[in-house]
């Protein structure tokens, strides 16, 4: 498709709204999507959306569509209002008073309840999309959310192409919507089987394990991408006899064999995984995030190869020291933030417990975490020079090419940045030590301008640690954090003006979303990654870990009470797929802050 200047305007609006919802439905960045060019059937029809200053249509979207589709549909509606000066009716399909099936001239976006939408949806596979007429309706629809967004983009282009023809009377004619645009995705010619049985007959079940639901969605999505088969993904039944005859079981489920395999993998030091097939039951198991490795083996060795997972197959391996959690399909970078607790020497209370909280010991644990998740950026807080040297050495030993943005020893810098030099190029940066609200020189920020090597996209990253005491303990503390937030907002305006690119900030803000400092970031144009992430962990992300010992439970509360945040300015350029607070059993002894990470797409 050739984009004209007007279409670039609408696409910039759409990109501000498009959020990729399904991990399973996203195409990976590694290769080009294969499919037919849209089939075009021409019919001499002239359709007026607006005539003599009056809108002739209603824009209808599904009441149950995703946030991404809602935002994209709304962007198109606003654009039509802008270019015509009219206000057509815009409603959900289940709005009271609207007749579900009618003869009105309607533009139906997504899988609405109208019979025309449902009939067309039945003809589409998950990755097909269609824009065109159906009786007195115009359909803008795809087989899934991702495909529907592509259909909306095509419809937006048609709006812009016809907007150029608007006369003095303000008539908007969509002659091209007498044409059907039908895109058919060509699935690779692979048959996927488990125990000799076609994969299309399987149900994917997930357990209550932390990562099981996400992994189940990834597996089902990859199967759809390769074969076109759409598998049901469901929480595993409480009673094993209710499990389908043909099932993919993810995590420790109610199935006896599933539970037994998972129980044998209980080793925090090795983070093992197992993939096993017995009859037409396929087991995908792993210790905590090791479950991702089991799923990846299934995808790499069987789904992508079109090989049968034979009855009796079993494979297990340890996953510590290797990447377990791959980047979300369709995303470009992973950004992590982590307060590592500045404590270099073992403490008496820990010695009494027979434990070691020294920097050297805890650094080994952080290396396991960073290796498993392999963030492209790690924004750090409370990072002592001693701990930093151990972590960098550990990552190098693991074969990873991390480099740092750190201003120590020329000045104290407890907020350095680690970045994956295979993915990013450092261009320039800076550091600032707060001159107030500071204890032990731990409160500062470090920023860097990076260029993504594959895409050439540039962006600014900043890590910070704000003043730590509560207002009740030390009056004026809220004021310190507010002033520090104002400094960062002022800096962001300067940097974004200079480099014309988005900015992401993260760190230990030592305040929740109700604070004045957080409000300052929001008023300064920053948006919380948690709020527009498709998939997210909703916890406080904080527990007790100090010189006196540690707990193995998070403090109560949802993200609204969290003090570790990640925010983006000019978020319309980026999409956030996940916001995660990963916990592993051994992590309780590393620091009181659970790391936070987001997987991000540039939408370039």
Of 504, 500, 487, 497, the residue nearest 576 (C-alpha): 504
Cα 590 to Cα 319: distance, rounded to the nearest angstrom: 19
Determine the 3-state secondary structure of 334 from DSSP: strand
Q: How many CA atoms lie within 13 A of 82 on its CB side?
A: 13
What pLDDT score was predicted for residue 275? 96
What pLDDT score was predicted for residue 23? 27
What pLDDT score was predicted for residue 426? 98
Beginning with the edge strand found earlier in the chain, give each strand of the sheet holding 48-51 in spatial order. Answer: 54-55, 48-51, 172-173
Q: Quick count: other Cβ atoms within 10 Å of Cβ 501?
A: 17
Residues contacting residue 228 through CB under 8 Å, at least 6 positions apart: 125, 126, 185, 187
What pLDDT score was predicted for residue 318? 85
Which CATH number does the domain 333-601 belong to among 3.30.230.10, 3.40.50.10160, 3.40.50.150, 3.60.10.10? Answer: 3.60.10.10
Of 525, 533, 526, 530, the residue nearest 68 (C-alpha): 533
Instruction: Kindly give the residue spans of alpha helices, DSSP state H, lying in 187-229.
Output: 212-227
Q: Which two tokens stand for residue 191?
A: 């048959």
Instruction: Kindly give the residue spans of alpha helices, DSSP state H, lying in 374-511.
Output: 385-397, 477-499
Q: Which residue has the tokens 């495909």?
A: 147
What pLDDT score was predicted for residue 73? 92
What pLDDT score was predicted for residue 321? 72
Q: Which residue has the tokens 């809108």?
A: 55
Residue spans of the domains in the chain: they are: 5-183, 193-318, 333-601
Which H or E element spans position 232? strand 232-235
Of 327, 297, 595, the residue nearest 454 (C-alpha): 327
Q: What superfamily does domain 193-318 belong to in CATH? A: Chitobiase/beta-hexosaminidase domain 2-like (3.30.379.10)
DSSP state of 236: P
| Fold match, 5-183 / 193-318 | yes
Residue 494 CA from chain centroid, whole number: 28
Evaluate whether the domain defined by 5-183 bears CATH number 2.40.50.100.
no
Q: How many CA atoms lie within 13 A of 65 on its CB side?
A: 35
Which H or E element spans position 73? helix 67-84
Measured CA distances, 309 to 218, 298, 301 (Å): 18, 8, 9
Query: What does DSSP say about strands 48-51 and 58-61: parallel, antiparallel, or unpaired?
Result: unpaired
What pLDDT score was predicted for residue 396? 95
Which H or E element spans position 229? none
Beginning with the edge strand found earlier in the chain, give each strand of the sheet holding 444-452 in spatial order. Answer: 424-433, 444-452, 458-465, 503-508, 564-569, 526-528
Instruction: For Cα atoms 530, 566, 286, give the angle at the middle one, nearest 5 degrees.
Output: 65
Residues contacting residue 405 through CB under 8 Å, at least 6 positions apart: 416, 417, 419, 426, 429, 446, 448
pTM for the model stands at 0.70
Determine the 3-state secondary structure of 174 from DSSP: coil
Residue 205, beta-bridge partner list? 234, 249
Measured CA distances, 77 to 62, 145, 497, 529, 569 (Å): 14, 18, 31, 26, 25
What pLDDT score was predicted for residue 53? 82
What pLDDT score was predicted for residue 44? 46
Residues of the chain with pLDDT under 70: 1-47, 97-99, 164-179, 189, 571-572, 604
Cα 227 to Cα 433: distance, rounded to the nearest angstrom: 55
Q: Which two tokens stand for residue 589?
A: 């002894």
Determine the 3-state secondary structure of 63 from DSSP: coil
Determine the 3-state secondary structure of 299 from DSSP: helix
């Amino acid at each position: 498709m050739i984009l004209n200047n007007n279409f670039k305007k609408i696409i910039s609006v759409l990109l501000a709204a498009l959020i990729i919802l399904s991990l399973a439905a996203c195409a990976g960045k590694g290769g080009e999507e294969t499919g037919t060019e849209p089939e075009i059937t021409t019919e001499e029809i002239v359709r007026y959306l607006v005539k003599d200053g009056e809108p002739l249509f209603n824009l209808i979207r599904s009441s149950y569509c995703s946030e991404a589709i809602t935002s994209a549909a709304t962007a198109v509606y606003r654009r039509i209002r802008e270019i015509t000066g009219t206000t057509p009716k815009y409603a959900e399909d289940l709005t009271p008073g609207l007749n579900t099936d009618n003869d009105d001239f309607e533009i139906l976006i997504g899988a609405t309840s109208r019979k025309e939408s449902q009939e067309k949806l039945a003809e589409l596979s998950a990755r097909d999309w269609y824009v065109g007429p159906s009786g007195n309706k115009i359909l803008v629809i795809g087989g899934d959310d991702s495909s529907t967004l592509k259909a909306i983009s095509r419809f937006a282009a048609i709006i812009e192409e016809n907007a150029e023809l608007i006369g003095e009377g303000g008539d908007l004619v969509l002659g091209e919507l007498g044409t059907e645009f039908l895109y058919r995705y060509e699935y690779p010619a692979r048959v996927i089987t488990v125990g000799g049985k076609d994969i299309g007959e399987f149900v994917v079940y997930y357990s209550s394990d932390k990562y099981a639901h996400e992994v189940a969605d990834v597996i089902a999505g990859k199967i759809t991408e390769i074969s076109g088969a759409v598998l049901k993904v469901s929480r595993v039944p409480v009673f094993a006899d209710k499990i389908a005859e043909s099932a993919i079981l993810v995590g420790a489920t109610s199935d006896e064999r599933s539970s037994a395999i998972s129980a044998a993998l209980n080793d925090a030091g090795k983070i093992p995984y197992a993939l096993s097939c017995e009859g037409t039951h396929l087991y995908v198991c792993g210790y905590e995030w090791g479950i991702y490795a089991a799923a990846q083996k299934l995808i790499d060795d069987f789904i992508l190869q079109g090989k049968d997972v034979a009855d009796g197959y079993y494979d297990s391996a340890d996953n510590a020291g290797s990447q377990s959690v791959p980047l979300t399909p369709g995303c470009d970078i992973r950004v992590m933030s982590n307060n590592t607790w500045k404590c270099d020497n073992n403490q008496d209370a820990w010695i009494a417990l027979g434990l070691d909280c020294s920097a050297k010991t805890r650094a080994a644990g952080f290396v396991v975490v960073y290796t498993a998740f392999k963030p492209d950026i790690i924004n750090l807080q409370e990072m002592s020079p001693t701990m930093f040297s151990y972590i960098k050495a550990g990552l190098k030993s693991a074969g990873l090419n991390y480099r740092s943005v750190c201003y120590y020893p020329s000045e104290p810098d407890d907020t350095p940045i680690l970045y994956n030099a295979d993915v990013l190029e450092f261009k320039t940066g800076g550091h600032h030590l707060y001159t107030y609200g500071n204890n032990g020189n731990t409160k500062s920020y470090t920023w860097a301008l990076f260029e993504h090597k594959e895409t050439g996209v540039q962006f600014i990253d900043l890590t910070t640690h704000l003043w730590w005491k509560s207002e009740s303990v030390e009056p004026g503390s809220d004021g310190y954090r507010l002033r520090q937030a104002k400094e960062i907002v002022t800096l962001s305006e300067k940097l974004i003006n200079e480099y014309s690119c988005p900015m992401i900030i993260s760190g230990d803000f030592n305040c929740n979303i109700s604070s004045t400092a957080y409000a300052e970031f929001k008023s300064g144009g920053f948006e919380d990654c948690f709020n527009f992430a498709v998939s997210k962990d909703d916890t406080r992300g904080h527990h007790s870990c100090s010189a006196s010992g540690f707990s193995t439970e998070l403090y109560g509360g949802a993200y609204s009470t969290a003090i570790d945040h990640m925010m983006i300015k000019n978020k319309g350029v980026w999409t956030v797929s996940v916001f995660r607070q990963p916990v592993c059993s051994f992590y309780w002894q590393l620091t009181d802050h659970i790391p936070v990470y987001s997987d991000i797409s540039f939408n370039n």
